[in-house]
Structure 1
Amino acid sequence: MQTDNKFFDDLAKLGQSAVGTLHGVKGEMEAMIRARLENLLQDMDLVTREEFDVVRDMAREARAKNEELEQKIVALEKKASPKKAKK
């Protein structure tokens, strides 16, 4: 009976060791995959989120300025058109 307990104890230790090893392998695989993805993204020459946000804000400002200038042009054209008709 004593040998059965030792057998099961050894089997339990082996199982625990296997689980620990698998957990370590999982961590290594995640790190390797993360590194490969980061390298792939760097090779694709993508912009960072910060760069994207800066350019988006610049585009919004440019669009607002463009709309403002268009309104000024329309106002100036309205002022100029009666003068042309009087001549």
Structure 2
Amino acid sequence: MLDPKIFEDFGARMSALLATGPAADLEKNAKALMSGFFDKLDLVTREEFDVQAQVLARTRQKLKELEARVEALEKARDQA
């Protein structure tokens, strides 16, 4: 049977090799490329999105209230 320690040692060596080899440069370049790509898009943070979602929810609630008020006023006017 194979010793599990062999796999752990192999994994550690591969990680060290990838961290110091060309793969590390590829990862850095990929991150820089993606960062530049995302900077060009009109994106917002999750926090900004959540704030705007709350504002929209309050606006929708206020709109419902105003619509109900207008409907009540129109009914009162038609009955008078």
39-48 or 57-66: bigger deviation? 39-48
TM-score by length of 2: 0.67
SS in structure 2 at match of 1:28: helix
Q: What one-letter code is carried by the residue in structure 2 that aligns with 1:31?
A: K
Unaligned runs of 5+ in 1: 1-16
TM-score by length of 1: 0.63
SS in structure 1 at match of 2:44: coil
The structure carrying a bigger helix percent of its residues is 1
Match of 2:20 in 1: 24
Match of 2:9 in 1: none
Deviation at 1:68, TM superposition (A): 0.5
Aligned residues: 67
Match of 2:7 in 1: none
RCO higher in structure (CA 8 A, sep ≥6):
2
Change (3 A) 1:19 1:37: closer
Q: Which runs of 4+ in 1 moved over 3 A?
A: 17-23
